[in-house]
Structure 1
């Protein structure tokens, strides 16, 4: 059984990134178990503190996961602050964090025409800086994402099929790092 942790960049329950992540979980192949990280419960990163139970829970989830799927919106040409905060908590100790060697896949969404490509680029840069293994597949981007959600469900079958294929290749490309 492969276990993936899903980190959704938006904290809004009705976010298109969250709708897309939920739709993709429904399409995961047999033998893959998914769990969502609760990045909204984390305190602001502060190197003088350990972050308590919320940070310990996130680190446990990351350690237990074979890979991490990021589904993030683009905020101000980059990733949301809550997602960066979660990554900052998990990035220590430098070059020896739970992300070292961790297989990661990045999907970005936006309300605009570019689909969050700048956020995706920034997130991949950050992950590379932590020595994570970012899957080098053709990028999955979702432009005009809010228009693709109906009653809380992501409904664009073309994007779902493309993302499902990309995730399948990620999950089968090689054994994902422990």
Structure 2
């Protein structure tokens, strides 16, 4: 298996100074040579509307294509009102539609999240895992990367400055690569 593992990175925040976008960009830099991470910007994903499934909005069609051509997905989610943000939920819903044509089917996935609060997006990550059950996605259980007090872990330009967090993100990406390889091997049997 000499092919690089392709990971699609999705940040559930649209904010320019988002700590989750910064964490995702840190993951890109920490990715091992055996893989690559392409970040897809969710800016422009419309609110989910079943009346717009056929044809799908172009940005959603592009997202579904990127999901399908990836070996695994890396989510970086903030926590809004104890759950995943609307933009991420809209992207997930659209890419699972129309019924029977989900791009998420069977994809290995990992989650991380950054928050200015003490829990580091724990509740949002657990809600996202619940969504994975219906989507038949295979969540990597460990390591869990919850980045609390994120304002203290990134500089003004969004660079990750915290060594512990950097090590955890690196460990997560490496585990996701191995998880994707295992799933690829299972599919080849």
TM-score, length of structure 2 as denominator length: 0.88
- Matched ranges for 1:124-135 at <5 A: 124-135=129-140
- Paired residues of 2:106 and 2:137 also in contact (CA < 8 A): yes
Given the superposition, is the C-alpha separation of residues 141 and 39 from structure 1 closer, same or farther in structure 2, using an over 3 Å criterion? same
Q: How many residues align?
A: 178
TM-score, length of structure 1 as denominator length: 0.93
User: Which residue is 1:57 aligned to?
Assistant: 62
User: Which residue is 2:51 aligned to?
Assistant: 48
User: Which residue is 1:23 aligned to?
Assistant: 26
CA-CA distance at 1:54 after TM superposition: 0.7
Deviation string for 1:102-129 (max 9, x for gaps)? 0100112211111110000001111111
- Paired residues of 1:23 and 1:153 also in contact (CA < 8 A): yes
Instruction: Find out whether 1:168 has 2:171 as its counterpart.
Output: no
- Matched ranges for 1:5-20 at <5 A: 5-20=8-23
Distance 2:62 2:31 in 1: 24
Unaligned runs of 5+ in 1: none
Runs of 4+ in 1 over 3 A off after TM superposition: 93-96, 173-178
- Paired residues of 2:9 and 2:37 also in contact (CA < 8 A): yes
Q: What is the aligned-residue RMSD (CA, Å)?
A: 1.6
Distance 1:95 1:54 in 2: 20
Unaligned runs of 5+ in 2: none
Distance 1:77 1:18 in 2: 19
Deviation string for 1:35-64 (max 9, x for gaps)? 111211112111111332111100100011
